[in-house]
Amino acid sequence: MSLFGKEGSRKPPQVVKGLDKTNRDESGLELGLRGYSKTQHTCVLCIGSKGSGKTATINRFELSEVDNTNNCTMYRPENGIGPTWIEVGDWDLTADDTEDCFHDTLELLLNHSITRIQAIFWLVIPSLSQNNMTLYEQARFINMFRPRDIWSNVILVCKMSMHPERDGKEALRTASEFAPEVKIPVAGYRFMEDPSFSASEKEKFSSPERRLEFKIKDRKEVRALLEDHIVALGGPCSMDDDERELSVIQQKELKTVFGLPPIVFPKPF
């Protein structure tokens, strides 16, 4: 189902009024999300399997939960700067469940007048990266927002990975089935506060060189890395078919009450 269209093609992002590279906190990191354009109706989605780091990623930003559904949790920045964040929960790996999760996510976005997707963080676990069915359903979910075009706003994140390009190879291959022409950026890091690290290992990571070698990052460094990736994407994807907005809840009710399939509004080419 086609729901979002590209707002430009990787245009240089416009900086939100009052937010530029001179606005920094005491750590030197820029406040909010740098270079965000039109954040009032913009969101960032986090999707992935259980344990892939969705919540941990969101926790790197100062966000407060504002709403939730069966499949999604919505967060907004505590300082009011930047887009809304959506954590998409796990779902069973069947076509119907993926459709239901997508409609649930879309309904939440529309209920809050969110019409743009700035970025989608697709989080994968290296040890589970060969689960083709899991990756395929997640990729299909992403593609529903806007076939092909949405992939220019996707960032692949490999949890606890020293070699993210290698660990994310299967996810990238799956994504290429939907958008072979798009080169998806890949990020990988290991959280400094990970409880699996022993005291001796943490002591070794006190050296900046060692931390760089093993991709160890603290909370602020992870946030800065993710912000850089988001800003590099350029413009967000926008909703382009008003008729779909009016039909989402009706479609969901039809499927629930009458067992009818959802109506698909084809995108004109």
- Summarize pLDDT for 114-134 with one digit per residue, the tens: 988 999 999 998 876 556 888
Instruction: Give the span between the Cα atoms of 233 and 13, in whole angstroms.
Output: 8
As a residue count, the chain comes to 269
Spans of the chain, pLDDT less than 70 = 1-40, 92, 128-131, 195, 238-269
For the chain, first and last CA: distance in Å? Answer: 14
pLDDT at residue number 128:
65
The CATH code for residues 4-258 is 3.40.50
pLDDT at residue number 179:
96
- pLDDT digits 0-9 by tens, 212-269: 877 888 888 889 999 999 989 877 776 554 344 434 444 444 344 334 444 343 333 2
Give, in degrees to the nearest 5, the angle at Cα 119 between 123 and 19: 125
